[in-house]
Amino acid sequence: MPIYFRPYSVFSPHTPQSFAILVPGSEPSAIFSLCFLRNFAWLSTPKNQGGIQGVEYPLVADLKRTIAQDYDVLSADGVAYRGLFLIDRDGVVRHQVVNDLPLGRSVEEAIRMVDALQHFEKHGEVCPANWTKGKEAMAATQEGVSGYLSKN
């Protein structure tokens, strides 16, 4: 069963043991392998005290860790790695990144990837390395690549 999440404000760089699944245009949420009471306590704690107070999107408690296991982000010790999955409107995973626990994620890169997927879905053009919203993309043909490279 697919799970749909909005691309912006899906995760904070300060959220350990969590992963997000992004589908452009859907409702926001994040998945944690914590119980409801622990999530509630975390939501009630100010950010300057290590909490996430003020977050308005839903948190999904993956107590049995089935979602983490389905997305292959569960360690042998039962801890969910920091993962992010970008899924297109047809349910195809277009981008994924899974980090070990000491490595943080880039919110900017996640948003850039969402922008690139939305550009592709709207215009049919592919986005080259380091592409950002508003910049030129290219057709996925030899002519498109050569035209792009001759100008950039």
Residue 6 confidence (pLDDT): 32
Q: Does domain 1-105 have CATH number 3.40.30.10?
A: yes
Inform me whether the pLDDT recorded for 32 exceeds 70: no
Lowest mean pLDDT among 27-31, 84-88, 130-134: 27-31
Task: Convert the pLDDT of each residue in 70-123 to its tens digit.
Answer: 888 888 998 888 888 887 878 788 889 888 888 877 878 888 988 898 899 899
CA distance 14 to 18: 10
Largest CA distance in the chain: 57
Alpha-carbon distances, residue 88 vs 42, 68, 72, 122, 140 (angstroms): 31, 19, 19, 12, 18
CB 60 within 8 A of CB 32: yes
* DSSP per position, 45-71: S-GGGT--TT--S-EEE-TT-HHHHHT
Inform me whether the pLDDT recorded for 133 exceeds 90: yes
84 forms beta bridges with 20, 97
Amino acid found at 114: V
CB 13 within 8 A of CB 30: no
User: Per-domain residue ranges for the chain?
Assistant: 1-105, 106-152
